[in-house]
Amino acid sequence: MAPIDLHAAKQRMLHSQLRRRGIHDERVLAAMAKIPREQFVCAELHDDAYSDCALRIDCNQTISQPYMVALMTEALQLYGGEKVLEIGTGSGYQTAILSELCREVVSIERHGELSVRAGVILAGLGCKNVTLIVGDGTLGYVERAPYDRILVTAAAARAPQPLIEQLADGGIIVIPLGGRDVQTLQAIEKVGGQSRLVNLSACRFVPLVGEEGWPE
């Protein structure tokens, strides 16, 4: 069987999965149009790169479905000058999207092999405003704090306190909160030391493992 037309698949994704479901931020849509999602999955999954589902990657992790990537990114309300902390580099696809939309991305991944592989792909795409860290994402990365935005790509029972502390006043953290199996994606704005939250969508993410998250 001949491989599918990935350009056509990407255009269908942008129209059917994103625009028709309410993703309206043109900068987010442009970033999703630019970044080649197929480069972040194994060769056997290239034909599925723009499918409406999450895909497995190494270390029992996943690359989120395109709609969830777009929804989380749009909820960050990025204008171009922000410093963003990403918890869970994974494949590096979400990292690449963020790099198109903000001034600087610091991304933490606990699996060293995933971080290394993502780094190679991101470098190949010319993403020069990204710093990759191997470590416990639940503790954040205080050396570069505060952050204007924080994106957590794994599920927690509660927002880790170190991340809240490292978020600048007026900043936004987007995080899936709930149990290990089903969560609610939330956007939490930090204003004057208080938190305002908005529920965005039901979701299912892999657990956020670490000192301030789920046990291994």
User: For residue 170, with 0-12 CB atoms within 10 Å meaning exposed, 13-18 middle and 19 or more buried, which class applies?
Assistant: exposed
Q: Taking CA 74 as the corner, what is the angle to CA 68 and CA 79, rounded to the nearest 5 degrees?
A: 150
198's tokens: 């908005």
Count of CB atoms situated within 10 Å of the CB of 34? 12
Do residues 87 and 137 touch, judged by C-beta distance below 8 A? yes
Q: Taking CA 115 as the corner, what is the angle to CA 147 and CA 160, rounded to the nearest 5 degrees?
A: 40
Q: Report the interhelical angle of 66-75 vs 26-34 (nearest 10°).
A: 140
Q: Give me the residue label for tokens 């978020």.
A: 167
Closest CA to 122 of 102, 137, 143, 100: 100
Catalytic residue among 64, 91, 107, 115: 64
Verify whether residue 91 is a known catalytic residue: no
User: For residue 71, with 0-12 CB atoms within 10 Å meaning exposed, 13-18 middle and 19 or more buried, which class applies?
Assistant: buried
Active site residues: 64
